[in-house]
Amino acid sequence: MLRVDPDGKATPWVLGIRNTEGFDWLDDGTMVIADHGPSGEMGRYAHDEVNIARKGDNLGWPDIYGCEQKPGLLPPLITWATHALPPGGAAVYRGTAIPELRGSVLVASLAAEHIHRIVLQNGTVAAHEVYFRRSSAGCARSP
């Protein structure tokens, strides 16, 4: 991921991202990134993830994915191992209409199936909630 400075110069920001589907800034130097996991390459599937990164961090793709860890590579805050999320956007809620959500990371899923609320505390996940999850039964059609 590149960041463009005020003079228009692109500077590397974060490495090791597979397929960013959304990001926002927690502060001037810290990003939250929703990354779409693999879809079969190298025999890997699922493992969509949410990360916190600072300039120069390496999130590890393709050397690590899911909950794997290696020195110098950052594991995700959250990963979805068995069922793909997949992320369709991410934002830090700064609004005032719903005060209890203020500061939460909101991650939307593709196909508008559900929204994940991630509450961060000292750089770790303090709470993870899911809203609007559709029934596992899928669609019901009338005869």
Residue 82: which CATH number? 2.120.10.30
Structure tokens that stand for 17 in this block: 């991202």
Q: Is residue 118 part of a domain?
A: yes
For residue 118, give its domain range: 2-131
Q: Is residue 113 part of a domain?
A: yes
Q: Is residue 69 part of a domain?
A: yes
- Name the phi and psi angles at 40, rounded to 5: 115, -20
Are the C-beta atoms of residues 100 and 111 closer than 8 Å to each other?
A: no
CA distance 51 to 32: 6
Q: Is residue 142 part of a domain?
A: no
Name the H helices within 37-99: none
Q: Is residue 66 part of a domain?
A: yes
Structure tokens that stand for 140 in this block: 């019901």
| Residue 1 pLDDT level (bands cut at 50, 70, 90) | confident
| Residue 34 pLDDT level (bands cut at 50, 70, 90) | very high
> What percentage of the chain exceeds 70 in pLDDT?
92
The pTM assigned to this predicted structure is 0.86
The owner of tokens 């505390």 is 121
Number of structural domains found in the chain: 1
Structure tokens that stand for 21 in this block: 């589907």
β-strand 78-80 against 115-121: which pairing, if any?
unpaired
Query: In this predicted model, what pLDDT tens digit does every residue of 50-100 receive, in sequence order?
Result: 999 999 999 999 999 888 999 999 999 999 887 778 899 999 999 999 999
Q: Is residue 85 part of a domain?
A: yes
Are the C-beta atoms of residues 83 and 75 closer than 8 Å to each other?
A: no
Considering only residues 37 and 93, tell me which one the structure prediction assigns the higher pLDDT. Answer: 93
Is the pLDDT at 17 greater than 60? The verdict is: yes
Q: Is residue 60 part of a domain?
A: yes
Cα 127 from chain centre: 15
Is the pLDDT at 103 greater than 70? The verdict is: yes
